[in-house]
């Protein structure tokens, strides 16, 4: 099997207000904003991070979101991280705590309604069978 060196460079989003949405995600990730015209770029915040690029929307927002991103936090910190993100302007949608033994997650929406999850994976010795 060939090992391909491919990583996530950036998530690109259209936004009603790119500056405001970038400010929310900068607070979430700890990245520093870099504005250029009507668009805003957030570089990766450290090794293993991902960039985000926000540009003005060109069409009405789709009714159905076909993709979302999953953010992972250390085991035991999901609830406090979710509360921090809600304090920044995210909206709680739902929790999935018992569907599978190896992950618990909370689905949130950012200030423009883009869904994302905050997940935590228990240490192997704590996973339920």
d(CA 94, CA 3): 36
Would the pLDDT of 127 be above 80?
A: no
Question: In CATH, which superfamily holds the domain spanning 68-129?
Answer: 2,3-Dihydroxybiphenyl 1,2-Dioxygenase, domain 1 (3.10.180.10)
Instruction: Read off the pLDDT of each residue in 102-106 and give the average, rounded to a whole number.
Output: 94
Look at residue 129 and tell me whether its pLDDT is greater than 60.
no
Separation of alpha carbons 90 and 38, rounded Å: 23
> What pLDDT is recorded for position 128?
55
Domain layout of the chain by residue ranges = 1-58, 68-129
Local structure of 38: helix, strand or coil? coil
pTM of the model: 0.86
Structure tokens at 35: 């504005």
**Domain 1-58 -> CATH class:** alpha beta
Residues 44-86: pLDDT tens digits? 988 888 999 999 998 888 778 888 999 999 999 999 999 999 9
Return the percentage of the chain with pLDDT > 70, whole number: 96
């Amino acid at each position: 099997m060939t090992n391909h060196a491919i990583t996530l460079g950036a998530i690109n989003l259209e936004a009603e207000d790119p500056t405001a949405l970038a400010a929310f995600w900068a607070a979430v990730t700890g990245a520093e904003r870099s504005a250029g015209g009507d668009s805003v770029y957030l570089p990766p915040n450290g090794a293993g991070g991902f960039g985000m690029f926000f540009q003005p929307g060109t069409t009405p927002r789709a009714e159905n979101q076909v993709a979302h991103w999953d953010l992972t936090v250390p085991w035991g910190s999901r609830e406090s991280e979710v509360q921090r993100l809600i304090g920044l302007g995210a909206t709680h949608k739902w929790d999935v705590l018992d569907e599978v033994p190896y992950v618990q997650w909370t689905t949130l929406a950012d200030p423009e309604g883009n869904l994302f999850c905050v997940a935590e994976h228990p240490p192997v010795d704590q996973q339920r069978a």
